[in-house]
Structures are given as structure tokens and as C-alpha cells.
Amino acid sequence: MSAMKSSGQFFTIGLVTAWYSSNIGVLLLNKYLLSNYGFKYPIFLTMCHMTACSLLSYIAIAWMKMVPMQTIRSRVQFMKISALSLIFCTSVVSGNISLRYLPVSFNQAIGATTPFFTAVFAYLMTFKREAWLTYVTLIPVVTGVIIASGGEPSFHLFGFIICIGATAARALKSVLQGILLSSEGEKLNSMNLLLYMAPIAVVFLLPATLVMEENVVGITLALARDDSRIIWLLLFNSALAYFVNLTNFLVTKHTSALTLQVLGNAKGAVAVVISILIFRNPVSVTGMLGYALTVFGVILYSEAKKRSK
């Protein structure tokens, strides 16, 4: 039995490692492409990600039978999934745009305020009140980001606003997902949800790319003639974007939601350290203290929510 248990533990550790690597890998690669490499096409990049997610989701579900295929039951359900897809697109595109202007470390610090936005949207849309203590824990979450912003040497106002927008959109999607797909007949697991959301996202992103990033395919091909690495970087980055969703689903399945939250908080901190080591962006003590305060607030928030249940 102990051999079974230890192999199970190794499997979980392997999964978490894969989840961390793919998550941080996508973040760093996006940053490298969008700001260091100078590939200034965040919408096209997101479209590549979504195309890969569409294809790989289909292979994983229809061919490899990783999870049973769930079907869309009604037009209403399709509309709900489309709405989620649009918000999801907005959050990913905004996150990618913000990486053009902000270092990964600061981007992650802002991203850590997701629980604050989630609590706000949950209250506004479902009138669901948390225990007052839970709201109190959100004070350090927000204060930390305000301190970090003040102490961020590479602060960029537009990047900051876009990044806040991305974080709010991510929170809105999770709250809406809970409301829209809550009835038993409409519940989709995250793998099936991605299978339907990704192609719809491509449909939204294609016209946006054509209008806002004209001739991006021509430019990418011209770049590829000079440096074939760009094609491999885009392909690898897009496959990795799918892998983030896949490993996220598997980690959720094999651990608890709470473990996922704790691991998620730690992941942000790991991403910050790695990105500072790789991109060597200047950081200030104030910025780091602010970020630490935010992460501390998020941990308190998870604890308070757990206690109030």
C-alpha cells in the first residue's frame, strides 16, 4: 500500500511541477516575445494560443478520451459559453498587452488581487455576502498592490490599467461561470468548457487581429524568413498555453480546491523570482514588500473563507 501511496505522491508532485513549469513558462515566453523579442502582437498571440487549445482539446477529448465528451444542450447554454469566452479573451488579451509595458514581477503582483475582484463581483451579481472577516483580509491584498505600484521602478500607467482590467475580467469569468453553468444539465468540466470556449474565442479574436494588428501574418512570415525561431517559439508557446489548462484541470482533480489556491499563491511568488532572475528588471524593496503584503493578504483570505464555510 505504501508503494501505491508514494507513487501517488510522486504523480501529484509531477503534476504540480508540470503545472508550475507550463504556467510560468507561458508567462515568461509571452513576456520575451512581446517585449524583449519585439513581437508586438498580443491579440495574434492570444489567437495562436486559442487555436492550439481548440485543436489539442479536441485531440485530448475526442481521440484520447481523457475525459468524457460533454455536449452543448441548448442555444441558451451556447450563448452563456460564448459570453464566458468573450470575457476570457478580454482577460488573456489584456494580460498579454500589459506584458508589453510591465515586468512579469509587477504583472503577477497585480494578478494576485484576483480574490478582491472575485469578492466584489460575487457581491454585486449574486448578493452573496462573505463573513466580514473575509472582507477585512482583502485590505492587505489591495494595500500591497498600491505599495508595490508606488515602489515599482518600471511602473507604466497604461500597462497598469490594462493589467487591472485583465485581473478583473478573470475574476468576472470565474463568478459568471459559477452562475451561468451552475444547473446540473449545464455543468461542464473545465476541459470540455475549454473545448467549446477556445474555438469561439478564435472567432472573436480573428476580426480583432485583422483590424487592430493588420498584416500580422505577413509580418510573422517575414520575421520567420530572417529567424525561423519565431515560428518554433509561437508553436511551443501555444502548445504550452493548452498545457496550462490541462495541468490545471488535473491538479484540481487530484488535489483539493484549497490546495490549488495555496499552490497558486506560491506559483505567483515563484514566477516573480524567476522573472527577475531572467529579465533582470529593477525591483525596489518597497515593491517587494508590497507584493509580500498582497500574497500574505491572499493567504489570510483563503483561511477566512475556509473558516466561514
For 21, other C-beta atoms within 10 Å of its C-beta total 14
The number of beta carbons lying within 10 Å of the beta carbon of residue 271 is: 21
- Position 2 confidence tier, pLDDT thresholds 50, 70, 90: low
Write the pLDDT tens digit of every residue in 37-92: 989 999 999 999 999 999 999 999 999 999 999 999 899 999 999 999 999 999 99
* Confidence label for 105 from pLDDT (cuts 50, 70 and 90): very high
Instruction: Enumerate residues 6+ apart whose C-beta is below 8 A from 184.
Output: none
End-to-end Cα distance, the chain: 33
Residue whose C-alpha cell reads 478580454 in the numeric block: 90
Residues 6+ apart with CB under 8 A from 215: none
Q: What region does 280 belong to: left with phi over 0, alpha with psi -120 to 50, or beta?
A: left
- Between CA 88 and CA 171 the distance in angstroms is 10
Q: Is the pLDDT of residue 3 over 70?
A: no
Q: Residue for cell digits 503584503?
A: 293
Calculate the CA dihedral of residues 232, 67, 6, 271 and round it to 10 degrees: 40
Q: How far apart are CA 296 and CA 284, in angstroms?
A: 18
Rg (CA), the chain: 20
Residue 305 has pLDDT above 90, yes or no: no
Q: Answer yes or no: is pLDDT of 5 > 80.
A: no
Distance CA(68)–CA(64), nearest Å, equals 10
